Structure 1
Amino acid sequence: WLNDVHAYHGNAAADCYIGCTRMADIRPFEYGGGHVIEDLVSGKEIRLRGNSYTTDCYPLAEVDTNFTIDEINQAVLLNPRNAYQRYVCAVNSSDKTLYTYMGKLLPKFGNAHFAGAGALSPLSNDPDYETIGIGIRIFLGGGIGYVIGEGTQHNPGSRFGTLFVKGDLKQMTPEYLRGVTYEKYGTSLFVGLGIAIPILNEGLAKKTAIADADLLTDVIDYGVPRRDRPKLRQVSYKEMKSGFIELNGKKVKCSPMSSFHHAKKIAETLKEWIQEGKFFLN
């Protein structure tokens, strides 16, 4: 356990994995793996508890100690599903409040939530993956990371591409790695990610000129409890970012799950790194 969050061990001795959505045994829904990762990169002490069978090589059956990120050889962030190209806009037609990974959805279309940075989303600027692929360097969590493959649920044909990314936690900062709690749903981790896209041809120049008005997604009714939920309409990121969407002839308040402030800051930081010779594409 790391800070009372169960950490998986099943490989080499002294190695372990902690999942950002794993909740603490003592304070579930308040603290989880994402918060442990934030505390770790903040330089805070992490409590390690463990128990196992004994062997001649490892005679100690239990351990209970504290450590910081500076006291361990490696700390690696491995995210198998990051940088969604776009995501849906969630609403709730039912007569009860829903607590979801898209936040609290009020009854009778009381609000709408969406995710993604719109025109600043890397995969929306390079939808054909001309420059984004295995091995490219990226901004990840305040440090430098890499794309190591396609992400889980990757579906570029439907404009729902994702990336599998990896980075050195020792370079990262809590400004871009934040543990998060979703009321009555669980815990997770907000991750700041940015990708530099070189303009190699006229086609890429056109693609990277995409605007929020050009990016569409579906308004999905989470109030219908089935896998294939109803699609109520299509909406642009421009409309969602305005703070309201129109639904059934009425204005519905619309809020982002993503931080546009941090998205712009990441883009500006990445630009500065490139200009100063601190960041290369590969």
Structure 2
Amino acid sequence: MPTPRTLAEINAKIRAQTVVVETAETFKQRAAESSIAAAFAAVDVVTTGTFEPMESSGAVLNIGHTDPPIKIRDCRLDGVPAYAGIGAVDLYLGASQPADSGPPGDNTPTKDRGGGHVIADLVAGKAVQLQATGHVTDCYPRSSLDTTISRETINQFYLFNPRNLYQNFIVGVNGGDRPLATYLGPLQPNLGNAVYANSGALSPLMNDPNLNVVGIGSRIFLGGGVGYVAWEGTQHFPLQKRLPNDTPIGPAATVALIGDAKQMQPQWVRGCYFKGYGPSLMLGIGLAIPLLNEAIACHCAVQDQDLVAPVMDFSIPRRVRPTFGLVSYAQLKSGRITLNGQKVRTAPLASIYLSRQVAAELRDWIAQGQFELTAPVAPLARDRAFLAQDTWNPQSGLRE
């Protein structure tokens, strides 16, 4: 049996530039052509990646104090409302916040722009208009501010994303008779198309299904810069039902991420808009998995045919929707699945092409000694149940 490695040994190899690092796809091919034991013996680190919309994201900004000082209470960045309830000149800009069509106080949303676009513009070094009104106090006598900011003219600008990197997700279809605008994009009636969100065998958390490697403090590739896992993500649900290979059959674990947006690259941070639904943020995220033992290598060898996702009918407007059963990611990536005897076209929400590039760029960082791996300071929770906000019946004492 191959000898286990330590993270310190792997990092020493990274510093010496003698580490053997492969992308997830290359490693899976190696394992399939030889054996998991042989692949583990040959490779130290596997890199994964995804590039997909992640609407539960946002940016923290500190614009610096004005003279006279202002205590911001209402703010727009290029017409997009930013939350100002966390400090005099601290702001939080949500990626999925739509832009207003007018000045502060006019809350009519525009059609195709939101917080994700403003975040992407700031990452790209562009100037953004800031319009704010203040809460006048003795400490903060200024009542308004109209200026422009950029990433170079503000103090802090970092992403803090409450929910990223879903460990698996759903496939959306539309069994109704009219088109639907959804967070997966347009779904055509009468099972006209199927959209899947996860990148499958490339996806970071699919390669660490039991969260043995990733945890709080794990260093990651985030938007072309360095980021970290800050906490479990919202809607973190590691208790999802799983296959014998430990991978979940639907939405499961998530992570909250943080990273310095001033160091990110525009090609990996892009605003996007879903017609009829709203704005979001496309992010490139990569996770490096140290092959500490053969069990970790076994999980990294999982193939698309070994991963499944549930097909959900969005024409039923309920939290719990009817399902057409499970399909494999190999079927999804083939371009067609069969539902009720009908051939249905499939398309990924994540860019498989750019997901591969994320994994490749992270591989190169590690091979060149520019990115060492970190051990988690604490594990992610593995026992979180999923609670729904249903109607409370005071007579029965139950949620309905």
Partner of 1:133: 215
Find the residue that maps to 1:107 and give its secondary structure: coil
Answer yes or no: is the 8 Å Cα contact 1:29–1:185 preserved in 2.
Answer: no
2:85 is equivalent to residue 10 of structure 1: yes
Structure 2 unaligned regions, length at least 5:
1-75, 102-108, 241-247, 375-400
What's the % identity of the aligned pairs? 48
Partner of 1:72: 154
Q: 1:176 aligns with which of 268, 290, 306?
A: 268
Partner of 1:228: 320
Find the residue that maps to 1:264 and give its secondary structure: helix
- Aligned partners of 1:5, 1:210: CA distance in 2, in Å? 42
Partner of 1:106: 188
For residue 275 of structure 1, report the CA deviation from its aligned partner: 1.1
2:356 is equivalent to residue 264 of structure 1: yes
Equivalent residue letter for 1:69 = R
For residue 29 of structure 1, report the CA deviation from its aligned partner: 3.1
Could you tell me the TM-score, scaled by structure 1's length?
A: 0.98
Q: 2:292 aligns with which of 200, 206, 210?
A: 200
Larger CA Rg, structure 1 vs 2: 2
Equivalent residue letter for 1:136 = S
Answer yes or no: is the 8 Å Cα contact 1:29–1:182 preserved in 2.
Answer: no
Partner of 1:122: 204
Find the residue that maps to 2:122 and give its secondary structure: helix
Partner of 2:378: none
Find the residue that maps to 1:134 and give its secondary structure: coil
Could you tell me the TM-score, scaled by structure 2's length?
A: 0.69
Find the residue that maps to 1:69 and give its secondary structure: coil
- Aligned partners of 2:128, 2:272: CA distance in 1, in Å? 18
Find the residue that maps to 2:148 and give its secondary structure: strand
Task: Indicate the structure whose relative CO is greater, using CA pairs within 8 Å and at least 6 residues apart.
Answer: 2
Find the residue that maps to 2:111 and give its secondary structure: coil
Deviations 1:7-58 (A, max 9, x none): 1111222111111110000152310000000000011100000002212222
- Aligned partners of 1:239, 1:215: CA distance in 2, in Å? 10
2:100 is equivalent to residue 25 of structure 1: yes
2:115 is equivalent to residue 40 of structure 1: no
Partner of 1:247: 339
Answer yes or no: is the 8 Å Cα contact 1:143–1:171 preserved in 2.
Answer: yes
Q: 2:233 aligns with which of 144, 151, 156?
A: 151
For residue 245 of structure 1, report the CA deviation from its aligned partner: 0.8
Equivalent residue letter for 1:18 = L
- Aligned partners of 1:91, 1:198: CA distance in 2, in Å? 37
- Aligned partners of 1:195, 1:183: CA distance in 2, in Å? 31
- Aligned partners of 1:89, 1:265: CA distance in 2, in Å? 24
- Aligned partners of 2:135, 2:202: CA distance in 1, in Å? 50
For residue 179 of structure 1, report the CA deviation from its aligned partner: 0.7
Deviations 1:207-247 (A, max 9, x none): 10000100001011111111110111210111101111111
